[in-house]
Amino acid sequence: MGCYILPAPGTKTGPCVAPCDHKDCAETRKLAAAPCFHCGRAIGYDVKMHFLGKDDDGNHRLAHLTCPGEVRPGVRVDAVA
């Protein structure tokens, strides 16, 4: 499984700093705001993370690389694919 890093706003490959209508910027912001599957905190920018597949609604399940052993209350460990 590979790991990924979302570039921060204003960096060369990151989303625009100011609000914009770019689809790539919107998707990056959405992923950065998504909760980590394990700890529940936002994924954020410039942090190593994994894609764990998609949930039943088609949204990406993401997890910080640094918290593979932490599971937030109410999350089934066997649900991680």
To the nearest whole number, what is the mean pLDDT of the chain?
Answer: 84
Q: Find tokens 């790539």 and name the residue.
A: 24
Please state the rounded mean pLDDT for residues 39-63: 90
Mean pLDDT in residue range 49-68: 86
Q: How many domains does the chain have?
A: 1
The residue segments making up the domain with residue 72 are 4-79
As beta bridge partners, residue 49 has 4, 64
Confidence of residue 38 (pLDDT cuts 50, 70, 90): confident
CB-side neighbour CA atoms (13 Å) of 76:
3
- Predicted TM-score of the model (pTM): 0.76
More confident residue, 21 or 72: 21
